[in-house]
Amino acid sequence: MDPTTNSPASSRVQNVIVMRHGDRIDNAEPLWTTTAKRPWDPPLIDSGKVRAFSTGRKLRNNLGFPINRVIVSPFTRCIQTASEVVSALCAVNDDTLVETSGDNISIDPSKLKVSKIDIVPFLLFLHRPWIRSYPFGGYVVAEVSVEFGLCEIISREAIRPDFAPKDGIWGFKIPELEAKFPAGTVDTTAGLLYPEMPKWEESLLDARARYACVIHELADKFPSENLLLVTHGEGVGVAISAFSKDTVVYEVEYCAYAHLQRQISFNSDRAVSAGNFDIATKHAQSGIRFCPASAVALNAPSV
For the stretch 138-159, pLDDT in tens is: 333 348 999 999 999 999 999 9
29 HSE (CA, 13 A, CB side): 16
**pLDDT tens track for 271-292:** 889 999 999 999 999 999 999 9
The CA-based angle 21-22-25, given to 5 degrees, is: 115
Least confident of 6-10, 36-40, 144-148, 175-179: 6-10
Q: What is the pLDDT of residue 294?
A: 84
Beta strand 132-133 pairing with 227-231: unpaired
**pLDDT tens track for 217-265:** 999 999 999 999 999 999 999 999 999 999 999 999 999 999 999 999 9
Note whether 163 and 40 are within 8 A (CB).
yes
Q: What is the pLDDT of residue 128?
A: 40
| Ranges 105-114, 185-194, 253-262, most confident | 253-262
Radius of gyration of the chain (CA): 19
Task: Give the whole-angstrom CA distance, residue 108 versus residue 129.
Answer: 25
C-alpha dihedral sign at 38, 40, 41, 47 = positive
Q: Is 80 helix (H, G, I), strand (E, B) or coil?
A: helix
110 HSE (CA, 13 A, CB side): 7
DSSP string, 81-121: HHHHHHHHHTBSS--TT--STTTT--B-GGGGSPPHHHHHH
Nearest to 239 by CA among 150, 144, 143, 155: 150
Note whether 193 and 144 are within 8 A (CB).
no
Beta strand 288-292 pairing with 247-252: antiparallel
Fold designation for 11-298: Rossmann fold (3.40.50)
- Domain ranges (residues) in the chain: 11-298
Which residues have a Cβ under 8 Å from the Cβ of 299 and sit 6 or more positions away? none
Alpha carbon of residue 35 to chain centroid: 30
pTM score over 0.75: yes
Three-state secondary structure along 259-291? EEEEEEEECCCCCEEECCCEECCCCCCCCEEEE
Task: Give the whole-angstrom CA distance, residue 90 versus residue 113.
Answer: 10
Q: How confident is the model at residue 98 (pLDDT cuts 50, 70, 90)?
A: confident
Which residues have a Cβ under 8 Å from the Cβ of 239 and sit 6 or more positions away? 16, 18, 211, 215, 258, 260
